[in-house]
Amino acid sequence: MKRHVELKNHQREIYFFQLRLILSLGFVVVMLLILLSRFFYLQVVRQGYFKTLSDNNRISIVPIVPNRGLIMDRNGIVLAQNYSGYTLEIAPSKVADLDSTIDALAQLIDIQPRDRKRFKKLLAETHTSDSLPIRSRLSDVEVARFAAQRYRFPGVEIKARLFREYPYSDKMSHLIGYIGRINDKDMEQLEADNMDANYRGSDYIGKIGVEQSYENDLHGTTGFEQVEVDAGGRGVRVLSRSAPKSGSSLILTLDAKLQEVAEQAFGSYRGALVAIDPSNGEVLAFVSKPGYDPNLFVDGIDTENWDALNNSPDVPLNNRALRGQYPPGSTIKPFMALAGLAYNKRQPGTTISDPGYFTLPGSSHHYRDWKAGGHGSVDLFKSIVISCDTYYYGLATDLGIDNMHTFLDQFGFGKKTGLDMDGEASGLLPSPEWKQRRYKQIWYPGDTVSAGIGQGYTLVTPMQLAYATAVLANDGVGYRPHMVKQVLRNAEHEAPSAPAAVAMDLKLPADNIALVKRAMVAVTQPGGTAAGASAGANYRFGGKTGTAQVIGMKQGEKYVASQISERNRDHAWFIAFAPADKPRIALAVLAENGGHGGSTAAPIARKVIDYYLLGKAPKPLQTVVESPEKEDD
Amino acid sequence: MINSLKRRFVAHLDPVLMYALGALMFVSLVLMYSASDGNWTRVLGQLANITVAFVALWIVANMPLHYLMRIAVPIYIIGMVLLLGVITPLGVNSHGATRWLNIGVATIQPSELMKIAVPLMMAWYFEKHEASLTLKNYFVATLLLVMPIALIVRQPDLGTALLIAASGFYVLFLAGLSWRIMIGLALTAAVSAPFLWSHMHDYQRLRIKMLFDPSQDALGKGYHTIQGMIAVGSGGILGKGYMNGTQTHLDFLPERTTDFIFAVYSEEFGLLGNLILLTLYGFVIARGFMITANASTYFTRLMAGSITLTFFTYTFVNMGMVSGILPVVGVPLPLISYGGTSMLTLYLGFGMLMSIHSHKKLVQS
């Protein structure tokens, strides 16, 4: 019996066991199916996604930075070039103690405190994990010395790089500008312009001048190498390569020799000069004195040099030619004369009697002529030659500010010339609307009187005045002023330079222009305000002197240069075109605190024209001689 | 005579299991070469591991069944003593976990021994009380299971604890633990989960969190999972080809020869390769089920069932963790991952399966 019960139990037990075993089998099958469907999901459904991730893992894109284009003058003289050299670079993220590392490096390589300061500044400005240079232009000896000790400096490397160099240093600084390390602000701009991809790997970008305006041409196209990397980021092999395209070189319209002559002609004066070829708008010379050494900026300027430049009373960093705004003074008179003729307010033969001052009807206020007692009987021709103020006080009043504004606006006053360089100031051509907007005041008749001789509110840049002079010299046809003659897009295949673009054709009556130009030529002849500057010239040229007041004179007060501190003395202007009959050069010269246009600005112009027309090499630097000739204003 | 020697040598080896194990060994060695970037030392090392494990398998396979019964209790007791030894100063700490024991000549990992000892002990216990199983017996068996697990969780070694818990649970399940109790236990577990969570180690919590969103810590703990999934997924249907897995050969995959070797396989052989491998494992498991179903005693049935199901659990947990449906718990891919201890434990299990099968036949014949 007992055995029977056990047997029964045994069978039941086996039955239950096998039931559970089958359940287990079912469980196993379900779980294996889950695994299978997971594999299907990963390897079929999402295969593309994971393939991409896997490729991203293993493929790293390494940018190859293109060589920056060169900048040359119109004759092929190199103004900005690249040279290869070695820099000592530190990757801050890989160096535990920066200061002690630099201390140790200083024992091998000459590292000055200013190098350290510059490095610290760079470190604060850039937020990349890249290495930053502490010293550039290493000597061969220094390179060798470091190479031998290299194992001691993880995270420090010597790199061969192309450096930008400006051989003319401060002589071309305001024109060429400079490149500098890309900072956070530059990066934001590049991102906004969708250009950041092309700058992967690039350290430098044009900051100012032509280097900035033509950045897109100069930079070139960054090449890429697809490199297979391992998890540690080390390159294993190159998968594909797209070569970089070097930046285009620029041929400027500038004549570097002419620029040098002009620079030298300024002597110790501060100021600006812009010379334009009136027949096509090419900028031949572009001077802003003083300049600065653009080479200082390339790898980040050190604090001492920066402070010296930034705090100098001469403001060398200010581009006076492009951004300096000054009252045009008497240089406005030829344009006013043209306005008088155009609006029929003055005839060539009409004369006025100049008592030495002008009064508005119903006012006793005397607007003084620069010459006490006046010039006597003055017609339009003479008014330019001797720069008669009284004539233009009356003319301005007769024209009215609106007509003046309309007419002068055509010559480009009060607006940017469209020069192919960023940062141009637009000057100021006042109008009643402007005054209402700016000062919430009405326009007084007296404002018109001052505007007639280029004082008061009117402001021009040397660039603008040179352009207006070029338009006048070219009989009212203006070409857009430009710095770059040709962009060499490809070394083998030179793109032809774009034809000069006509920016304006004022359609001025030929007689009017001829009369004014003749008068301007007379300015440089005996009896004219710039007679001294033209002495001995075997060609004829037209010109006009001008004076921009720095401080205002009260009624009855007399301007005596010797009694006024140097910085408050008047700025001297001279505009010119040469040769007189078929002008090839038009220019505007400003000598800050130079006093008289005829005595300081005109001789500078003369030297520039001499060189340009005659190829006359500049004489050894000579100080500008005070002219005994007549003064204007 | 040679024939008779040969016959005696293979007498207790189950041919079906041997073919499957041989195939998996082949996969292991071939894959080891790729996973280690052509490192023969690694391949030969694995071959040595398999050789040693095979010797153990042969010995166990030739052991009569009552030997297994006889060693169950001593092995369990030795295992428990060694596990307790890990808590003493003899325990060796490495990577923030104390799992090893310094026994003078070598450092051993007692928890590995328990993978065999626990189900063996439980099966022995149920056999002893086969005639009159009461709730009390299940309770005692559970206690036999929970004691070593508690010690192992404490080390901490979540992966091993999980596998031992599974192997013990399979014994309980096959021994007929009532559904009511299982459901009750499941509910208790669900209720106590928050409590457990608050008592977990930070790294354990992180691993569980990573399960739901590995990208949370892509460069830290989630890196393993993400790179594993990328390897598996980018393999596609046909795989990138042997020795051509970029995740593997460019160092992106961690633990390539051990816990993540399945990612290497999957990347290079694709879905098709996975199907083949799953079939091989399925074959082993199916054979295990057959042996279990035909086992002659209560003890051998429980033991064979637990070994088979634990083997499956190994496979599922490893593949699940590499393909991102389970957290990374540190379970090797059975029979393929590099490692002497796990190979030995697994082969010991298969040795027992073979012994259970062949000695039953001998008894019958």
pTM to 2 decimal places: 0.64
What is the 3-class SS of A78-106, one letter each residue?
EEEEEEEEEEEEECHHHCCCHHHHHHHHH
Nearest CB neighbour to B250, from listed A25, A40, A230: A230
Question: What is d(CA A68, CA A80) in angstroms, rounded to the nearest whole number?
Answer: 10
Q: How far is B197 from chain A (nearest CA, A)?
A: 26
Interface predicted TM-score (ipTM): 0.91
A198-207, A469-478, B19-28: range with lowest mean pLDDT: A198-207
pLDDT tens readout for residues A68-123: 999 999 998 999 998 888 888 888 777 778 888 888 888 888 888 888 888 887 78
The whole-angstrom distance between residue A391's C-alpha and the CA centroid of its chain comes to: 39
The whole-angstrom distance between residue B218's C-alpha and the CA centroid of its chain comes to: 28
pLDDT grade for A561, boundaries at 50, 70 and 90: low
CA atoms within 13 A on the CB side of A460: 34
Contacts of A230 in chain B (CB under 8 A): 250-252
Question: What is d(CA A283, CA A484) in angstroms, rounded to the nearest whole number?
Answer: 8
Residues B227-255, mean pLDDT to the nearest whole number: 88
What part of B 298-327 touches A (C-beta under 8 Å)?
298, 301, 305, 309, 312, 316, 319-320, 323-325
Q: Looking at the predicted structure, is the pLDDT value of residue A630 above 50? A: no
Question: What is d(CA B115, CA B79) in angstroms, rounded to the nearest whole number?
Answer: 10
Question: What is d(CA B64, CA A406) in angstroms, rounded to the nearest whole number?
Answer: 119
Residues A173-195, mean pLDDT to the nearest whole number: 87
Q: Looking at the predicted structure, is the pLDDT value of residue B2 above 70? A: yes
Contacts of A233 in chain B (CB under 8 A): none
pLDDT grade for B32, boundaries at 50, 70 and 90: very high
Cβ-based burial of A596 (10 A; exposed 0-12, middle 13-18, buried ≥19): buried
pLDDT at position A501, please?
74
Q: Which residues pair with A277 in a beta bridge?
A: A282
Active-site positions of A read 330
pLDDT at position A161, please?
80
Closest CA to A513 of A351, A278, A317, A177: A278
Q: Measured over all CA atoms, what is the biggest interatomic distance in chain B, rounded to whole angstroms?
A: 66
What's the Cα-to-Cα distance from A134 to each of A102, A110, A128, A470, A590, rounded to whole Å?
9, 10, 16, 48, 41
Do residues B50 and B344 lie in contact, with contact meaning Cβ atoms separated by under 8 Å?
Answer: no
Tell me the CATH number for domain A256-485+500-614: 3.40.710.10
Q: Looking at the predicted structure, is the pLDDT value of residue A223 above 50? A: yes
Domain boundaries, chain A: 2-45, 61-252, 256-485+500-614
Residue in B with minimal Cα distance to A232: B251
A213-227, A581-595, B200-214: range with lowest mean pLDDT: B200-214
CA atoms within 13 A on the CB side of A219: 26
Give Cβ neighbours of residue A579 (< 8 Å, ≥ 6 apart): A539, A540, A541, A613
Mutate which: B173, B250, B313, B319, vs A, most A CBs within 10 A: B250
What one-letter code names the amino acid at A106?
A
Sheet holding B91-94, edge to edge: B91-94, B97-102, B107-108
Q: Which residues pair with A488 in a beta bridge?
A: A249
A5-14, A480-489, B328-337: range with lowest mean pLDDT: A5-14
pLDDT tens readout for residues A514-535: 999 999 999 988 888 888 887 8
pLDDT grade for A629, boundaries at 50, 70 and 90: very low
Rounded mean pLDDT of chain B? 88
> Could you tell me what percent of chain A has a pLDDT over 90?
38
Q: Looking at the predicted structure, is the pLDDT value of residue B216 above 80? A: no
Is the minimum CB–CB distance between B235 and chain A shorter than 8 Å?
yes
Q: Looking at the predicted structure, is the pLDDT value of residue B275 above 60? A: yes
Mutate which: A3, A29, A39, A46, vs B, most B CBs within 10 A: A39
Q: Looking at the predicted structure, is the pLDDT value of residue A465 above 70? A: yes
Mutate which: B167, B234, B312, vs A, most A CBs within 10 A: B234
pLDDT tens readout for residues A254-288: 999 999 999 999 988 999 999 999 999 999 999 99
Question: What is d(CA A349, CA B281) in angstroms, rounded to the nearest whole number?
Answer: 116
Sheet holding A59-64, edge to edge: A59-64, A223-229, A235-242
A 10 A CB-CB count for A143 gives 16
End-to-end CA distance of chain B: 23
pLDDT at position A4, please?
45
pLDDT grade for A554, boundaries at 50, 70 and 90: low
A1-10, A148-157, A414-423: range with lowest mean pLDDT: A1-10
Domain boundaries, chain B: 14-364
Residue in B with minimal Cα distance to A233: B250
Record: fold of A61-252 = Penicillin-binding protein 2a (Domain 2) (3.90.1310)
Is the minimum CB–CB distance between B241 and chain A shorter than 8 Å?
no
CA atoms within 13 A on the CB side of A394: 19
Question: What is d(CA B166, CA B178) in angstroms, rounded to the nearest whole number?
Answer: 17
Collapsed DSSP state (helix, strand, coil) of residue A376: strand
Rounded mean pLDDT of chain A? 85
Strand-pair category, A71-72 with A249-252: parallel
